[in-house]
Amino acid sequence: MTSFTTSDGTEIFYKDWGNGQPIVFHHGWPLSSDDWDAQMLFFVSKGYRVIAHDRRGHGRSTQTSTGNDMDTYAADVAALVAHLKLKNTVHIGHSTGGGEVARYVAQYGAGNVAKAVLIGAVPPVMVKSSSNPGGLPLAVFDGFRSDLAANRAQFYKAVPIPFYGYNREGAKVLEGVTDNWWRQGMMGGAKAQYDCIKAFSETDFTEDLKKINVPVLVLHGDDDQIVPIADSAHLSIKLLKKGTLKVYKGFPHGMCTTHSEVINEDLLAFIAL
C-alpha cells in the first residue's frame, strides 16, 4: 500500500498514477478513492497525473476516532500535497469531497491550485437553519446517524438506491455498482463515518467559497436526491468569484459513475481550457 503518516499518526492511503499536471480527487461519504476509478483511468490515459486518497477513517486509511471534521480533512490534504510536492494542481471533489476541496483551496491553495471542481457538492451548507431556510432538517441527519449505529451494513444497502437514481421509473439497477458502494462503505470505520455526517451536513463553507480566487466548475444533477441542487450548487455559484455552473437534467448524485462518459469529457474540457 502507498500511504503517508500525518502529524497525529494517521496513515492516509493514496493512489498516484501517471505524469503531467496533477489532478487530486476527493471522494464522498462514506466511500473511498475507489469511487473515482472511471475518472482516474480516463485522465491518466489523457496524460495527467492522477491522485486520490482515502479520507481518514475511510477506505484503507486509519479508522480514526478523532479528527473527523473538515478542518482536519483539509489539513490532511495539505499534508498529502506537501508529501507529493504537487504544484499547479486541479482539485475535484464529489459530495463531501466537494466540501473538503472548498475548505482546502480556501485555506491552503494560494499559489498552488490552478482550478477546482465541485460535483454534487455539499457547500455552502446542508442543514436547515434560520440563515439557511432551504436546507434539510437536522432530523434527516439524525436519522442517518441512528440507522448507521443500529445496523450500518443494512443502512449501506439502502443508500445507493437514491444515490444512483435507481429508484426512478425506468432505471436499470446495476448490482455491481450498488455492491461496490456497499464494499467501500464497509471498508471504513463506523466512528469516523458517524462523525463525518456532522462534518458534511453542518459545516458552513460560505466564507471558503468567497475566498477562492481560481476558476471553479460546479457540476450538479437536477435529480440529485442526496444533495438537493437548490440549496447547494445554485447557492454556491453566487458566492464564487470565478465560478461556472453546469446542470445536468435528470442526473443523480452518483453521476460520476452512472454518466461517467459525459462527466469525464466536461471535466477534460474545463481542465484543458
Instruction: State the pairing for strand pair 3-5/243-248.
Output: unpaired
Neighbour count for residue 172 (Cβ, 10 Å) = 6
CA-nearest of 17, 18, 40 to 27 is 40
Q: Of 114, 125, 134, 77, nearest to 217 (Cα)?
A: 114
Catalytic positions, written as ranges: 95, 224, 253
Closest to 17 in 3D by CA, of 29, 256, 36, 110: 36
